[in-house]
Amino acid sequence: MSNNDQLNDQEVAEIYQSLIVDSPLRVLISKAKSGIIVHTSNAISHEDALVNPQNAIGKTGVEIGIWDDDSDRLKLVETLREDGPRFRRTDYVDATDQPRTQYRYSKLVSHSNEEYVIGVAIEVDELRKTEEKLKAYADRLEKAQEMAGIGDYLYDTTNGTIGGSKNLFKLLMVAEPEADISLSEAFRCIEKDDEPLLAQHFSAPASGFSFEVRLVGPEDTRYLQITADNPSEHSAPHKGGSNQIIHGIIQDVTEQRAQELERRNVTDKMQEAQKLESLGILAGGVAHDFNNLLSGIMGNADLARLDISDSEIVNQRLSDIIKASKSAADLTHQLLAYSGKGRFVVQPVDLSKLVRDMSQLLEVSSTGKATIQYNLEDTLPATLADETQIKQIIMNLIMNAVEAVDSQNGRVNITTGAQYCDQNYLDSHWKKFDIEPGEYVFVEVSDNGVGMTEETRDRLFEPFYTTKFTGRGLGMSAVQGIVKGHGGAIILYSEPNTGTTFKVLFPSNKQKPKIKAKAASTKYRNGNQQMILVIDDDEEVRNTIQRVLDRHGYIAALAENGEAGVKLFEEFKQELKLVLVDLTMPGISGSEVFRQMRGINSDVPAILMSGYNEQDATQHLVGKGLAGFLPKPFMIDQLMKKIEEALDD
């Protein structure tokens, strides 16, 4: 390099001066001792306290408004003398009340035995505005994450630390740290069983992932969905390599899980209801047809017993037929109970009294294998129920309990009581049953037997399911059907080797149980050729009723379906004294036949016959003049008693 190519000190000074004077940097040089300004850049004219640089030369900072008091300036000089140069950001408000931001550099220098303070400042308003926008965006993002129950994170697999948004740590139930923390610190509230799952996914994954963990809080357990994108490499120059970074989000899915569980429960209930409804329709149909057959068998056997009253052997055989038919009728009652249409004689029932009355039978049924202990409430409200079917429930539960216990120290407890069930109690214990809050009575049967597995508990109420080698029949499904038919609910508590408890709720009723009247006489008056119309689609039922009516002096007019019955009624509307009509027939139902007959002649009484329970069979005819209800199958005495009651009314 030649001397011509090298700048002398004067030239360098001039270039630097030109650079400083005309640059956007605001430069101000003042004497340290007096504070008198000796030089400024042109950019200093933008300072709202100055008009142009010449106004500042020869004046102090206090005079032109840079300092409020010279003592502040002197403090700065002392700081620079002790600590050296200072660089800082300053936010302030200008004379027009606009927010401004500067980065300021101050340094103390000596020249010709004089100390000077050099101050350099640059306006960064645009940077400040950008920062404000970024902060606003960050605040909105944080709010959005909070509303959505989401937090984002960055996990460094190399050093095992995690950091993220403010809401991330809120979801993790830990205080927001000042720096990234370890995975174990961040997930300190995780359910112990989920720790291996967390470690598995965060240990150097090759691809993205999504899984759930549970966090145990002071009040409840929260479910978090953890999702991650594919890992990425980020340079780490201080370590001479790169770090693998996992970026993802964590979302609180507790409410979604609860809703999903609720939807699943509703779906399961709907599927169970549809299955039960289908089987119930089948069971009800079978029971209806079977009841018609039994009506013919029992009625004809009863007639034959009257016709051959002098033959003891034949009478015994006929009595056996009737007894077997009644047992078969009990089976149809179970079928109807499963279909939810099995209540027949509904009256106020005291559960405690019922159990006491059954105690001798229960003791015999236990066959000495178990000790039965009774805890019966003395002043128990009644429930409206069919006493026979409630006995069936209790007997079934006791027999199951006896079979489950050890013959050496078997113990069965049967308890009755009353309680008020509010909505919270029903939701937590009886959610699968559609029962309303209110007063209920209950019977509870518990044992100290082998208990049940989860599979057994889940299938116990399925039709024909049994754990017994010789098991058969509807079993607990019939019990459940009876309970539901009474507007009640049944719940099971059981674990293997801890025994089993069944609790059955029935709606409470304030009426007192009725005292049974003595049986009426079985002798009936002569019908004197009064005409009775019999409408039933089963020929055997029609013929059996005709024989009974003939025997008692009545004239029977027979119709094989509803349409034929209405025609006969129209034809003999003046002669007819009574109508016996079946509820379930092809074509026109018994209910519709009754309504049409009432339109023709409302003075003729009608008795409805059905294998279904009275409440379901007559619910659409209440208050419309129905003279009575005759449950199938029936004996001669039941039929004749209903006929005479209807004619007397």
Read off the pLDDT of each residue in 77-89 and give the average, rounded to a whole number.
91
Q: Is there a contact between 196 and 213 (Cβ–Cβ < 8 Å)?
A: no
The per-residue pLDDT for range 144-153, each reduced to its tens digit, is: 888 888 889 9
Q: Is the model more confident about 348 or about 316?
A: 348
Q: Is the model more confident about 407 or about 2?
A: 407
Peptide bond into 205 cis (omega under 30): no
For 626, residues 6+ apart whose C-beta sits below 8 A from its C-beta are: 594, 606, 607, 608, 618
Q: pLDDT value at position 335?
A: 62
**Residue 473 pLDDT > 50:** no
Is residue 24 exposed (0-12), middle (13-18) or buried (19+ Cβ within 10 Å)? exposed
Give the confidence band of 563 by pLDDT, cuts at 50, 70, 90: very high
Read off the pLDDT of each residue in 590-606 and give the average, rounded to a whole number.
91
- The residues spanned by each domain of the chain are 3-123, 128-252, 260-332, 351-507, 531-648
Q: pLDDT value at position 616?
A: 66
What's 36's DSSP letter? B
Give the confidence band of 239 by pLDDT, cuts at 50, 70, 90: very low
Q: 128-252: CATH homologous superfamily? A: PAS domain (3.30.450.20)
Domains 351-507 and 531-648 share a fold: no
Q: 3-123: CATH homologous superfamily? A: PAS domain (3.30.450.20)
* Cα gap 154→249, rounded to integer Å: 9
Buried-state track 593-622, b at ≥16 Cβ within 10 A, e below 16: bbebbbeeeeebbbbbbbbbbbbbbbeebe
**Residue 471 pLDDT > 60:** no
Mean pLDDT computed over every residue of the chain: 81
Q: pLDDT value at position 431?
A: 67
Sequence-ordered alpha helix ranges (H) in 349-453:
351-365, 387-404, 423-429
**Residue 469 pLDDT > 70:** no
Read off the pLDDT of each residue in 374-391 and give the average, rounded to a whole number.
88
Q: What's the distance, CA 487 to chain centroid?
A: 21
Q: pLDDT value at position 238?
A: 40
Nearest residue to 407 (alpha-carbon basis) of 371, 364, 357, 359? 371
Q: pLDDT value at position 517?
A: 40
* Cα gap 319→311, rounded to integer Å: 12
Q: What percent of the chain has pLDDT over 70?
A: 83
* Cα gap 613→617, rounded to integer Å: 6
Query: 372 vs 300, 353, 367, 516, CA distance in Å?
Result: 43, 16, 11, 28
Helix 254-307 to helix 312-338 angle (10° resolution) is 160
> What is 531-648's CATH number, 3.10.350.10, 3.30.200.20, 3.40.50.2300, 3.90.650.10?
3.40.50.2300
Q: What is the dihedral of CA 466, 472, 473, 475, to 10 degrees?
A: -30
Read off the pLDDT of each residue in 481-488 and give the average, rounded to a whole number.
83
**Residue 636 pLDDT > 60:** yes
Residue carrying the six token digits 């025609």: 567
> What is 351-507's CATH number, 3.50.50.60, 3.30.565.10, 3.10.20.90, 3.40.190.10?
3.30.565.10
Q: pLDDT value at position 389?
A: 81
Read off the pLDDT of each residue in 393-405 and give the average, rounded to a whole number.
86
Residue carrying the six token digits 């082998």: 450
Determine how many CB atoms are found less than 10 A away from the CB of residue 472: 8
Q: pLDDT value at position 567?
A: 94
For the chain, report the end-to-end CA distance as a whole number of angstroms: 140
Please report, as a single letter, which amino acid is at residue 76: L
Opening angle at CA 217, ends 215 and 222, nearest 5: 45
The per-residue pLDDT for range 412-459, each reduced to its tens digit, is: 999 999 999 888 888 777 767 778 888 999 999 999 888 888 888 887
Q: Is there a contact between 215 and 253 (Cβ–Cβ < 8 Å)?
A: no
**Residue 227 pLDDT > 60:** yes
Nearest residue to 584 (alpha-carbon basis) of 533, 537, 546, 616? 537
Q: What is the dihedral of CA 35, 37, 43, 47, to 10 degrees?
A: 50
Please report, as a single letter, which amino acid is at residue 94: D
Give the confidence band of 558 by pLDDT, cuts at 50, 70, 90: very high
* Cα gap 372→359, rounded to integer Å: 9
**Residue 89 pLDDT > 90:** no
Q: pLDDT value at position 442?
A: 94
**Residue 322 pLDDT > 80:** no
* Cα gap 55→45, rounded to integer Å: 9
